[in-house]
Chain A
Amino acid sequence: MSEQIRGEWPLYEVFVRGKRGLNHVHVGSLHASDDALALRHARDVYTRRNEGVSIWVVRSTDITASSPSEKDPLFAPSGDKVYRHPTFYEIPDNVPHM
């Protein structure tokens, strides 16, 4: 990652449990000055205030990730963070070719 410009809020990754019985799923990221603000932003940005969903936020820098490009067999074949994996996503049925 590039050096932060002075005063830039840290990046957070956002995980949302859409409804009971489902896993929290990575939905994207956002910036916030602290954890509490990150939660509020996550609610505004990724659920548009949808009540009743559960949200996790974690600082991007606190995530330890493997690097599939380094081809360490330990990580094959799944590789990388599971949440970055395209198939982990719930794709709306009506989006073609996904």
Chain B
Amino acid sequence: MSSAVADHELEAHFDATIEHADRIEPRDWMPDGYRKSLVRQIAQHAHSEIIGMQPEGNWIGRAPSLRRKAILLAKVQDEAGHGLYLYSAAETLGVSRDELTEMLISGKQKYSSIFNYPTLSYTDVGTIGWLVDGAAICNQVPLCRTSFGPYGRAMIRICKEESFHQRQGFELLMTMMRGTDEQRAMVQESVNRFWWPALMMFGPPDEDSTNTEQSMTWGIKTHTNDELRQRFVDMSVPQAKALGVTFPDPELVWNEERGQHDFGQPDWDEFWAVVKGDGPCNAQRIVHRKRAWDEGAWVREAALAFANDSSRKGESA
């Protein structure tokens, strides 16, 4: 092995890799800031998947048909899988899943604010699939090309499953729209509740977003919050029309000149309140996660004790 290469040379190599839109792999040299930004972003993404199990999991027990129950259970299970893939990607950067879980439970790391909204009817399962997973896909498809290899690879798998979830959600709402008047009203009510929080999923307006610029240079982020939000709106409008629902935004209108929709702004005060911990379900979600984690501690310890014991005796477990 050659002796340590000078830092500036490593940095030049790193910059060149980014420049060529090539991938950074875990054992490559990387600037501390890059590593920290990635850990923060991947962890937040992983936490979102895990916390996101709760609002939808809330309706598994009450799903109105056996087929829908199976679909929902499998979907929430997929979210556990997504969280797991992402925690694994973060682990290649030198943090452990336990550390990340502790950061989530202690509030040091965030998750998507959308999951701090309650699911108040079974219909919300469909709406989350359509709008929330749809917004997530807008955010995530570009991440398949993110500069950090393990993150991009996790995203490929996740995007594939998410797009499936989105179709499932949309299909549920379509089916309900073909049902009774009451069911149609349920769909509209649910869409009304989730439209604004879905728009908030892209984060604050670009002028208020602190992390965007550096993350774009590094290829961790590939589009700005406002760009993605615009795409989402443009994509969702024709879908709403096909479904037969409206969005609760009087300013939403097609702008011929821009070739895009104009739309109103979400209540950013509410957004910041939710981000800061005062959303309708923030406390509940963390308590739930912490309880599951704490109550599982004895199981995890037991398995480890058993593994250590059986390896000492040279048994196969």
Q: Mark A residues whose CB is within 8 Å of B.
A: 1-2, 4-5, 7-9, 11, 28-37, 45, 48, 65-72, 79-80, 84-86, 89, 91-92, 95, 97-98
Across-interface contacts of B94 in A (CB, < 8 A) = 1-2
Quick check: is B269 within 8 A (CB to CB) of the other chain?
Answer: no
Interface with A: B19-27, B174-182, B196-204, B250-258, which one? Answer: B19-27
Check A34–B310 contact: CB distance below 8 A. Answer: yes
Across-interface contacts of B97 in A (CB, < 8 A) = 8, 31
Check B88–A92 contact: CB distance below 8 A. Answer: no
Check A28–B149 contact: CB distance below 8 A. Answer: no
Check A69–B96 contact: CB distance below 8 A. Answer: no
Across-interface contacts of B36 in A (CB, < 8 A) = none
Interface mask (B27-42 → A, CB under 8 Å = 1, otherwise 0): 1110000000000000
Check A29–B156 contact: CB distance below 8 A. Answer: no
Quick check: is B55 within 8 A (CB to CB) of the other chain?
Answer: no
Check B29–A89 contact: CB distance below 8 A. Answer: no
A-B contact count (CB 8 A): 109
Check A28–B88 contact: CB distance below 8 A. Answer: yes
- A31, B66: Cα distance in complex, Å: 32
- A31, B156: Cα distance in complex, Å: 21
* Minimum CB–CB distance for A6 against chain B, Å: 9
Check A28–B154 contact: CB distance below 8 A. Answer: yes
Closest to A94 in B: B160
Neighbour of B27 across the interface among A32, A33, A69, CB < 8 A: A69
- A86, B154: Cα distance in complex, Å: 11
- A29, B85: Cα distance in complex, Å: 7
Quick check: is B262 within 8 A (CB to CB) of the other chain?
Answer: no
- A9, B88: Cα distance in complex, Å: 13
Assuming the contacts A67-B27, A70-B2, A80-B27, asked whether A28 and B85 have C-beta atoms less than 8 A apart, the reply is: yes
Within 8 A of A (CB), among B1-26: 1-2, 5, 10, 13, 23, 25-26
What are 14 A-B residue pairs whose CB atoms fall within 8 Å in the complex?
A: A2-B99, A7-B301, A9-B303, A28-B153, A28-B154, A32-B303, A33-B304, A37-B317, A45-B84, A69-B5, A69-B28, A80-B27, A85-B149, A92-B160
* Minimum CB–CB distance for B104 against chain A, Å: 14
Check B144–A70 contact: CB distance below 8 A. Answer: no
Check B156–A35 contact: CB distance below 8 A. Answer: no
* Minimum CB–CB distance for B292 against chain A, Å: 16
Check A89–B153 contact: CB distance below 8 A. Answer: yes
- A58, B85: Cα distance in complex, Å: 17
